[in-house]
Amino acid sequence: MEYSFDVDLRAVLDLYCGLAQAGLELTELSHRTLTELCMLRTHERALRGGVRQVSLRLSVRFLESTANPEMMLLRAGSA
């Protein structure tokens, strides 16, 4: 599944936490991008003109039901 949406910069930290709490396993690039957006959010006041919204694309891939159940538990526990 793939979603494209705009999000208020103030809500980026909540989005990041929500994705982690939902148990989604993020790629390294996703972690880095969301961390950068969180840092931008922190320093938003220092920006002239200020970025208020960012566009995001969220792509979710589901594991096949035939996957090893033990591996699924390991992935869910590491989130």
pLDDT at 57: 86
> How confident is the model over 44-53, as a mean pLDDT?
66
Whether residue 26 has pLDDT greater than 90: no
CA distances 15 to 45, 62, 72, Å, are 20, 20, 23
Sequence spans of domains, the chain: 2-78
Its pTM surpasses 0.85: no
Residue 57: is it exposed, middle or buried by C-beta count within 10 angstroms (0-12/13-18/19+)?
exposed
